[in-house]
Structure 1
Amino acid sequence: MRAAVLTRFGAPLTVRELPDPEAGGGEVVVEVLATCVPPYAGEVFGGERNYPLVPPVVPGVGGVGRIVHVGPDATRLRAGDLVWCDCTVRSRDDALTPDITLQGWSSRGEGGARLARYLHDGSFAERMRVPTENVFPLPAAAGEDPARWAALSVHTIPYGGLLAGGLAAGETLLVSGATGNLGSSAVAVALAMGAGRVVAPGRNRAALDLLADRFGPRVRPVPLTGDEDTDRAAMSAAGGGPIDMVIDLLPPSAPSSAVRVAAMTVREYGRVVLMGGVGMLGGDDLALPYPWIMRNSVTVRGQWMYPRTANVGIIRLLASGALDLAPERVRTFGLDAVNDAVAYAASHGGPFDRATLVPGATVRPRAGDPDRREHTGPSPPARRAVGSHERADGEIALRLHPSTRRPAQRDDLGAVVRVSDRGCLSRRHHTAERLAGRYDRAEAHLLAARFVDDDTWRVVPILIRVNVRRVAFGPAGGAGRICMEFPIIGNSMYCGRRG
């Protein structure tokens, strides 16, 4: 198999041929379809974060994959299953205080380091070996866009913190670090869990505006000034009442005073959960006042990662649509472009920006656009309909054809309308996948798209009345067009062209 290897700290990752991993008892081998690249990955590989990785190592923080082999003790998992691979591995010989390693990323203590020496390599590879208990089945929809679902590695972390703090429906939450990659995820996850209001403090006005625009009045952005008393008063006022819980996800570069100001907005009997990196690279202690904690009966707890069951919960939130991945901006990179992915992630660490590695893909630069890439690779197995695409310069084309004579089903439309990267309807806020939820037996709401510029689509709804039980797709009418054919009403087509 091919894998990206960290040979030493400070050196670029190197793509090499390595032996395929083999599954032993209690393990599975997974073909990695997509894995998220954290924004701080460059700091880890450069040695700035002092992570206990031991080169040479294949890094990575879990991913979406398809099972290749299962160990002899697996009773439900099968080869071919689409799964999420959680990187948080716990030792099996101490149920009360298990040692923990983040496979291919980090570890805790000597016991975690021993575990990391055995489960050494992560997901920046075509295949990886994973403990059976760290593999979780995914819905079929994840196979249609595994790069988007790889964001599980982001969303599961704040979800674990919100579970630890016991966030209840209708409560008011303050997210310290709300404009960052993990903090913005905490905002989205909290609202999906039923939070009544989320206070989102930060210095990045554009990121605060993005959160307010996406989530509406349930999010209360608070621009920070740097003055502790002013900021504490503004955050408390934005809550519109008692703040039930505070979760901190600030990075190591943030001062401890920023955490303290946010934490001290919590109400009497409130909860504070610490999940960030403040203090890990030095600096002042948090120094929360003892009398304030005691006399207000405040619960303060730390939470590193999340319990195993959190994986099941976050997958359910995504599968139900309560947590929506569609608005996220996902940029994909093949394995040969792994260092480009690391650099891109570092410069796109804001809300809902994802750099995703697709190890099995072939990457090629676009004509006249060398900085942009599209990925092609093994497609998920077709269920009822399949599609293919071609691209002329400045245009998009889509060919669709039925793979069977049976009538189309509810998930057919979202499954087939797919093209890649800049010509990809499924990578924009209003996706072709939404089609599946916007029709019934009498009509189909189709979404066409036109370029506004390289990164923006103008979405145009079109209503075509058909008997959707008999919808089928015919071949495209030519380069630069999106064509959909509905034989039940003859050869009527809608064709969209750029501009």
Structure 2
Amino acid sequence: MTHINAALVESFGEPPRYRSIPAPQADARREVAEVLAVGIHPVTRGVASGRHYASSGALPVVPGIDGVVRRADGSLAYVGGLGGGGTMAERILIDPRSAIPVPSGADPATVAASMNPAMSSWVALRGRVPFRAGQSVLVIGATGAAGSIAVKTARHLGAGRVVAAGRNRQRLEQLAADGADAIVELSPDDDATAAAFAAAAAEVDVVLDYVWGAPTELAMRAILGARTDHARLLDWVHIGSTAGPTITLDGSGLRSNALRISGSGFGSIDLRQAGLPELVAAVASGALTVRPRPVPLETIEQAWGHEDAPGERTVVIPTSA
């Protein structure tokens, strides 16, 4: 039996190990592809830990939810999703119907680093809410990798005004230099933070929320209280929970405002309707990118616990080809 090298999670709570596993075999609907680059995203770690809602709970398991592959004809493709086996191996099985072509001149590591963080905001604005060019967008959690690229995504898709909110003042100032129209610092002073939200984001049309928890409660109260037209629709999209898994919402806020709360993540949308080929093209062109930090597959145990710098994403390179 032919074998390949892969990362393998053998126990929840421990990093994957560099292991030899049986090579995949093509079947009636899937083909074998060579893996060129796989991002270690927060959701990748979450699924591999068994704590993410998409985790099967089965062990052992190859981690990795997406990646860039080379198909048998030599073409490059982006593959993603939580179904089937993981992507952090030298070769994997892919469904040709869901493989998204990647331009031949694109850097696989950059595409692998960027697609997942860019996808969260792209999918939300393209497929979760009826966003239109010219509308305004608030990104809460804009100083993280996904949040910072969400600011660029909103602008790329035609937002007329973009507000960036986060804790890291230096990163917020960089986002302002890169095109955010206004910034809101999530400071320890709740009154000052609420006033900043009211001043900068009272009239936004869409909120992309990566934090949830107490900061969202504060922001929601401040924004709803400051809106001049309470009948104007506000789409609040919950994407991440970095500040906590729940919020307390006063029902009067829902009754007195045209507030619509929705979630955007695996299971809430058909990705085939989200224009992912256009996103791949935008990433490949350099318009929406995260800086890759490439590491070889054999260093997966050390790479797994690395804390990426702002704007960076660790990418595993399974082969030397």
Measured against aligned partners, the alpha-carbon deviations of 1:14-59 in whole angstroms (never above 9, x if no partner) come to 1122222122233232211001111465565556668444210000
> 1:83 maps to which residue?
77
2:218 & 2:206 partners in 1: Cα distance?
Answer: 13
Which of 202, 206, 225 is the aligned partner of 2:187? 225
3-state DSSP class of the match of 1:60? coil
Deviation at 1:131? 2.7
Q: Does 1:242 align with 2:203?
A: yes
Deviation at 1:294? 2.7
2:94 & 2:314 partners in 1: Cα distance?
Answer: 22
> 2:258 maps to which residue?
297
Which of 322, 332, 352 is the aligned partner of 2:294? 332
Which of 137, 155, 171 is the aligned partner of 2:118? 155
Deviation at 1:210? 2.6
Task: Show structure 2 runs of 5+ residues with no match.
Answer: none
Which of 5, 9, 13 is the aligned partner of 1:6? 9
Structure 2 counterparts to residues 148-187 of structure 1, below 5 A: 148-150=110-112, 151-163=114-126, 164-187=128-151
TM-score (norm 1): 0.56
Q: Does 1:315 align with 2:280?
A: yes
What is the letter of the counterpart of residue 58 of structure 2?
V
**Equivalent pair of 1:11/1:45 in contact (CA under 8 Å):** no
Deviation at 1:296? 1.6
3-state DSSP class of the match of 1:26? coil
> 1:141 maps to which residue?
105
1:166 & 1:236 partners in 2: Cα distance?
Answer: 24
**Higher strand content, 1 or 2:** 1
**Equivalent pair of 1:39/1:342 in contact (CA under 8 Å):** no
1:246 & 1:263 partners in 2: Cα distance?
Answer: 10
**Equivalent pair of 2:119/2:279 in contact (CA under 8 Å):** yes
> 1:355 maps to which residue?
314
Q: Root-mean-square deviation (CA), in Å? A: 2.4
3-state DSSP class of the match of 2:265? coil
Which of 61, 64, 75 is the aligned partner of 1:60? 64
Larger CA Rg, structure 1 vs 2: 1
Measured against aligned partners, the alpha-carbon deviations of 1:170-210 in whole angstroms (never above 9, x if no partner) come to 22211111111221121121111111222111111222123
Alpha-carbon distance change, 294 to 316 in structure 1, aligned in 2, over 3 angstroms:
farther
Aligned pairs, number:
304
**Equivalent pair of 1:269/1:297 in contact (CA under 8 Å):** yes
1:53 & 1:185 partners in 2: Cα distance?
Answer: 31
1:55 & 1:219 partners in 2: Cα distance?
Answer: 47
2:23 & 2:6 partners in 1: Cα distance?
Answer: 10
> 2:95 maps to which residue?
131
Which piece of structure 1 moves more, 333-342 or 35-44? 35-44
**Equivalent pair of 1:175/1:187 in contact (CA under 8 Å):** yes
Alpha-carbon distance change, 58 to 166 in structure 1, aligned in 2, over 3 angstroms:
same
Measured against aligned partners, the alpha-carbon deviations of 1:132-172 in whole angstroms (never above 9, x if no partner) come to 33211111222xx1101112122112211122123222222
**Equivalent pair of 1:263/1:272 in contact (CA under 8 Å):** no
2:69 & 2:159 partners in 1: Cα distance?
Answer: 31
Deviation at 1:337? 0.9
**Equivalent pair of 2:184/2:197 in contact (CA under 8 Å):** yes
What is the letter of the counterpart of residue 152 of structure 2?
A
Q: Percent identity?
A: 32
Q: Does 1:261 align with 2:218?
A: yes
3-state DSSP class of the match of 2:100? strand
3-state DSSP class of the match of 1:140? coil
What is the letter of the counterpart of residue 219 of structure 2?
A
